[in-house]
Amino acid sequence: MIARNRALMAALERILRAIGVACLLAVMAIVFCDVGARYLMNAPFPWSYELIGMYLMPAMFYFAVSDTLAADHHIAVDLLRPAMPPWLARGVEVLGGLAMAGVFSVIVWLFASSSLEKWASGAVVMGAVEWPSWIPDAIVALGSAVIALRLLGRAVGHALSLVTGKALIALPARVEDH
């Protein structure tokens, strides 16, 4: 069961990060074309500023934040880690992971409800285009839900490792291990 959940998490993160990469490259391409169209033809895209700021930027962060954690790419202060006994390192992982999962869960709750509310009321931001405002909130809620699950799974894994004394889940492999 653990293996199946883990595979499901990884698949979710793979999909979201692929969307994140697409957003990143889209920002590059849109700004490139926007500037070109403005300079050469005096015809910039009126929608690019809002599309990038409102939709693509949050998507780049929230669709990547969990995958970044899975890859241990979130920078941490690693001065003391090598000197810590495994039980302490796992204890920190459990407590820190649960606390952060809590923060992200609050974010999920806040943004899922505001997204539903905005969707139901048909709220739009009036710019060059009428931008539905439930979409950014849904992006935040979805990305936060995935990382909250990832953090929770890790905390449980470390807690079980502590209790059973078996290394069911590895400690984060950060730069000093290479």
Name residues contacting other proteins, limited to 112-171 (CB under 8 A).
114, 118, 122-128, 130, 133, 136-137, 140, 144
Q: Of the two residues 72 and 168, which places its CB atom closer to other proteins in the complex?
A: 72
State the Cα–Cα distance between residues 62 and 40, nearest whole angstrom: 35
Point out which span in 5-13, 76-84, 157-165 binds other proteins (CB under 8 A).
76-84
**Nearest to other proteins of 89, 152 (CB atom):** 89
* Binding segment (CB under 8 A) for other proteins, from list 2-10, 83-91, 160-168: 83-91
Rounded distance between C-alpha atoms, residue 146 and residue 93, angstroms = 18
Task: Find the shortest distance in angstroms from Cβ 88 to other proteins.
Answer: 8
Residue 87 structure tokens? 């039980």
131 phi and psi, to 5 degrees?
-90, 120
Nearer to other proteins, 110 or 162 (CB): 110
Cβ neighbours of 128 (radius 10 Å): 12
End-to-end CA separation in angstroms for the chain: 31
Report residue 132: phi and psi, to 5°. -60, 130
Element (H, E) at 124: strand 124-126
CB nearer other proteins, residue 7 or residue 173: 173
36 close to 113: Cβ distance less than 8 angstroms:
no
Binder of other proteins out of 2, 7, 10, 73 (CB under 8 A): 73
**Long-range CB contacts (within 8 A, 24+) of 33-39:** none
Of 3-11, 101-109, 156-164, the window that binds other proteins (rule: CB under 8 A) is 101-109
Would you give the binding string for other proteins spanning residues 29-68, x where CB under 8 A is met? xxxx-xx--xx--xxx-x-xxx-xxx--xx-xxx-xx-xx
Counting contacts by CB under 8 A, is residue 15 touching other proteins?
Answer: no
